[in-house]
């Protein structure tokens, strides 16, 4: 049975499903889920990410994490990545930090991943690069040690719900069926507490991710209880709703959200204000969101690229500079992508903020 048929059968039986339930099935259904079946990254896949574009991204993040570890007093710590894709970012982090005295010996590496296909890819990328590699399916399985955590393009893959308010009445945008095809329908609903207090504009879509809120709450709670620093990098917004940000990507082009579910990636933009508010409420210090271009720039991205070019044949130098431009330029990933740091209140602002 295809995912399309399976979703339709569920709707026929129980009525329209929330956008969050639809997203969770499309991305994570154990058999048909988008991430469960294939490696979606790279030129031959559906989308590409910063670590796949340039090694500079992972190297600078590795040095940022190691600097946080030093500022924390060099404790035994858990080096954690959420949703590590092909393992490229962690491989770059480990390579960039290899020469930092006692860093590798002080950390155990923890990868939180639900997809068997991607776990295999991560193993291929990381085997032999650190003696203590561990995989988990849930963030709550992580050890009670200070965190050095990174999540790149992880939060955008978490399910969101969508709500609209008309004449003071909230409705939830749901997935139903019309003429045998999946379609959006609206049903009267009680909005989540986070939305109940907004002065909603009629007809505007407000998004809410319970999964993202739970995970950021858990990260901030862990940092407050055990120490550590976390870096969240993703595309998203601050300063209020951007309306409907649910999007499907297939072979690097936009795709209909409700057509051939499970064949295309499905994501939503991250609401950084909400993540920040939740982490602050848990007692953590939060910095950003800062645009990715400005963040990487202040960590020395240009100097790193120039250095790489010095050790690279002339005909490959343009590729290095093109990768850097994609990461930092406002027209590419430099503005839309943002960086949020979560640390403990006892330390000064981290580098890059």
Q: Which residues are near ligand SAH by CB under 6 A?
A: 35, 41, 49, 51-52, 83-85, 89, 112-115, 118, 152-154, 157
CB of 113 to ligand SAH, least distance (A): 5
Is the Cβ of residue 34 or residue 170 nearer to ligand SAH in the bound state? 34
* Beta carbon nearer to ligand SAH, 191 or 271: 271
Nearer to ligand SAH, 50 or 343 (CB): 50
**Least Cβ distance, residue 311 to ligand SAH (angstroms):** 24
Minimal distance in Å, beta carbon 232 to ligand SAH?
A: 11
Residue 227 or 271: the one with the smaller Cβ distance to ligand SAH is 271
CB of 34 to ligand SAH, least distance (A): 9
Q: At closest approach, how far in Å is the CB of 65 from ligand SAH?
A: 15
Of 61 and 72, the one with the shorter C-beta distance to ligand SAH is 61
- Residue 33 or 228 having the CB closest to ligand SAH: 33
The residue at minimum Cβ distance from ligand SAH is: 83
Tell me if 292 sits within 8 A of 283, measured CB to CB: no
Shortest CB 12 distance to ligand SAH, Å:
27
């Amino acid at each position: 049975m295809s995912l399309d048929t399976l979703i339709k059968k569920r709707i026929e039986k129980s009525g329209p499903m929330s956008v969050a339930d639809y997203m969770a099935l499309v991305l994570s259904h154990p058999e048909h889920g988008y991430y469960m079946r294939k490696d979606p990254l790279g030129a031959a896949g559906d989308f590409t990410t910063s670590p796949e574009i340039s090694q500079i991204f992972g190297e600078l993040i590795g040095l940022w994490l190691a600097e946080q570890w030093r500022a924390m007093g060099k404790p035994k710590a858990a080096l954690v990545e959420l949703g590590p894709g092909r393992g490229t970012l962690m491989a770059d982090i480990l390579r960039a930090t290899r020469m930092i005295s006692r860093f590798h010996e002080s950390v155990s590496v923890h990868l939180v991943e639900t997809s068997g296909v991607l776990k295999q890819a991560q193993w291929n990328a990381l085997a032999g690069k650190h003696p203590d590699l561990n995989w988990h399916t849930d963030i709550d399985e992580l050890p009670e040690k200070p965190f050095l955590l990174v999540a790149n393009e992880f939060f955008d893959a978490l399910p969101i719900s969508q709500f609209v308010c008309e004449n003071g009445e909230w409705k939830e945008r749901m997935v139903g069926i019309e003429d045998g095809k999946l379609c959006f329908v609206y049903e009267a609903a009680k909005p989540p507490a986070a939305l109940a207090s907004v002065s909603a504009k009629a007809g505007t879509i407000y998004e809410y991710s319970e999964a993202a809120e739970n995970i950021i709450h858990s990260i901030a709670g862990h940092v407050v209880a055990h120490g550590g620093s976390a870096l969240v990098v993703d595309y998203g917004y601050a300063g209020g709703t951007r309306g409907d940000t649910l999007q499907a990507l297939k072979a690097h082009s936009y795709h209909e959200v409700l057509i051939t579910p499970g064949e295309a990636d499905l994501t939503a933009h991250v609401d950084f204000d909400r993540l920040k508010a939740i982490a602050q409420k848990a007692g953590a210090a939060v910095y950003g969101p800062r645009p990715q271009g400005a963040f990487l720039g202040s960590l020395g991205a240009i100097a790193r690229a120039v250095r790489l070019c010095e050790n690279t044949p002339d005909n490959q130098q343009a590729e290095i500079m093109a990768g850097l431009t994609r990461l930092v330029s406002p027209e590419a990933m430099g503005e839309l992508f943002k960086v949020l740091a979560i640390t403990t209140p006892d330390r000064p602002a981290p580098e890059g903020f």
